[in-house]
Amino acid sequence: MKAYFAAALAAAAAILMASSATAGTLDEVKKRGKLICGVAPNIPGFAYADDKGVARGFDVDFCRGLAAAILGDAEKMQLTRLGPRDAFAQLQTGAVDVLTHRFTWTYNRDNGGGITFAMTYFYDGQGFMVKKSANVDSVNKLNGASVCIAQGTTTELNIADYFRAHNLTYKIVSFADLDEARRAYEAGRCDAWSNDRSSLAARGLGLQKRDDHVILPETISKEPIGPVVRKDDGQWMDVVRWTVYALIAAEELGVTQANVDEMKKSSQSPEVKRLLGVGDNLGQKNGLSAEWAYNAIKAVGNYGEIFERNLGPKTRLALSRGPNRLWKDGGLLYAPPFR
């Protein structure tokens, strides 16, 4: 119910907001001395608090990286935990600067809503989890099944499209909350539980007997997930997406959190030098310092390091990179040239 309250508050904010033209988001963040990111409320691996109460996760690290690139300090950020219902409204009304959230980039979200996706930093797809005892090895054998999902995402549309396209019937049970969907599936309300594969892995950790369940091989949708910004601020969109591209390029160029100082001092590669602001000042064009990319890499490491730290095989989620590998390794990650 907090979500409704927040949505109402956001609506009220739009009504009461002073109509004087606001300064660019970048200037505002600099003036405030703090970056405000909207993140998902508690998803293991992506946005959660560790046992000491420190915010951690893939999405959180990108917020830290942005804060480091803009303000030179990764801790000059503040997280606002937002449900899917009120996140866009909070962004629209300026309560948060950027959503480093779990939102899928779609046409409808990108057009007409006053918001836009800066780029894609995580390629996901919708999958299904079933009980091993059901003896199902493919989504195509789920004809007539009840499927538990969490609404407010693209999940419902994907299932509708896939099942109709394959002439399968289904019964949808959509919950407002991800964990209630999992609990109802566990209690036997549904034959399958569907969500983005990364979410199934993350939320699946909450199942009482994780080993009794299996994720089916099919991925039924494309879920490009990336940071979301307001549409009226092109400069800010560039700051956000080029910072993420810098972290991807860093992995490609072999620049890591550990060696970034040394690389900055002694690398002879012109690409590395440009990226780290040696002998060139790419940051300037976007209102950032010459060391913006250096600061971000120093704070959170390159893309690969962020992935391994939060989601990789050594973590509880144990996700493989899959499509989130660099393009040269057969993945989809591809940073435009820094020149």
Which residues of this chain interact with another protein, rule CB under 8 A? Answer: 1, 4, 7-8, 10-11, 14-17, 19, 21, 84-85, 88-89, 92-93, 108-109, 111-115, 142-146, 148, 151-154, 156-157, 159-161, 164, 170-177, 180-181, 183-184, 187-189, 191, 230-232
Cβ-based neighbours of 4, under 8 Å, separated by 6 or more: 85
Contact between 48 and 39 (Cβ < 8 Å): no
Helices 58-71 and 234-252, axial angle in degrees (round to 10): 110
- Return the structure tokens found at 105: 């980039």
Closer to another protein by CB, 226 or 301: give it: 226
Residue 291: count of CB within 10 angstroms of its CB: 19
DSSP 1-23: -HHHHHHHHHHHHHHHS--SPPP
Closer to another protein by CB, 75 or 180: give it: 180
44-68: b (≥16 Cβ within 10 Å) or e: bbbbbeeeeeebbbbbbbbbbbbbb
Side-chain-side CA neighbours of residue 79 (13 Å) = 26
Closer to another protein by CB, 73 or 232: give it: 232
Calculate Rg over the CA atoms of the chain: 21
Closer to another protein by CB, 199 or 324: give it: 199
CB of 161 to another protein, least distance (A): 7
Closer to another protein by CB, 96 or 247: give it: 96
User: How many whole angstroms from its chain centre is CA 100?
Assistant: 5
CB of 70 to another protein, least distance (A): 22
CB of 258 to another protein, least distance (A): 41
233: left (phi > 0), else alpha (psi -120 to 50), else beta?
Answer: beta
CB of 144 to another protein, least distance (A): 4
Closer to another protein by CB, 11 or 214: give it: 11
CB of 203 to another protein, least distance (A): 16
Closer to another protein by CB, 157 or 318: give it: 157
CB of 219 to another protein, least distance (A): 19
* Cα–Cα distance for residue pair 295/276, rounded to 1 Å: 9
CB of 17 to another protein, least distance (A): 5
Length, in residues, of the chain: 339
What sections of 178-233 are H helices per DSSP?
178-186, 197-204
